[in-house]
Amino acid sequence: MVRLLMTNNLIKIKESQSQGIREEAEHVWCALVCMDSSQTLCGDSVDDDNLLSVDYKIVARGGITCPICLSIIKEIKAIRL
């Protein structure tokens, strides 16, 4: 049996041209969503021209520390199919 490993692609935006340098408390790991364009789950645009200082990481599970991303995930998980 082959098991596909799903990973969480995360980004921590430290500084952008549009928002400037973020406070240390705002340095959170957001879920990175890549569809037609890249953005965080909480809505920040991931545009290479705008981002000045970022960290990326890929984890097998968890790792998201952004409260907005976490609340969106909880809302999605609450949907009954």
* 30-76 residue pLDDT tens: 999 887 788 999 988 888 888 999 999 999 999 999 999 999 999 99
Query: Is the pLDDT at 2 greater than 60, yes or no?
Result: no
The SS3 of residue 54 is strand
Query: Is the pLDDT at 1 greater than 60, yes or no?
Result: no
For residue 12, is it within any domain?
yes
Query: Is the pLDDT at 29 greater than 90, yes or no?
Result: yes
pLDDT band at 5 (very low <50, low <70, confident <90, very high): low
For residue 47, is it within any domain?
yes
For residue 1, is it within any domain?
no
Largest Cα separation within the chain, whole Å, is 48
Count of domains in the chain?
A: 1
For residue 13, is it within any domain?
yes
Given this model, what pLDDT does residue 74 score?
A: 97
Separation between Cα atoms, residue 69 and residue 1, nearest integer Å: 33
Question: Are the C-beta atoms of residues 47 and 41 closer than 8 Å to each other?
Answer: no
For residue 19, is it within any domain?
yes
How crowded is the C-beta side of 10, counted as CA atoms within 13 Å? 20
> Can you give the pTM of this predicted structure?
0.83
Separation between Cα atoms, residue 30 and residue 10, nearest integer Å: 5
Which residues span the domain enclosing 70?
8-77
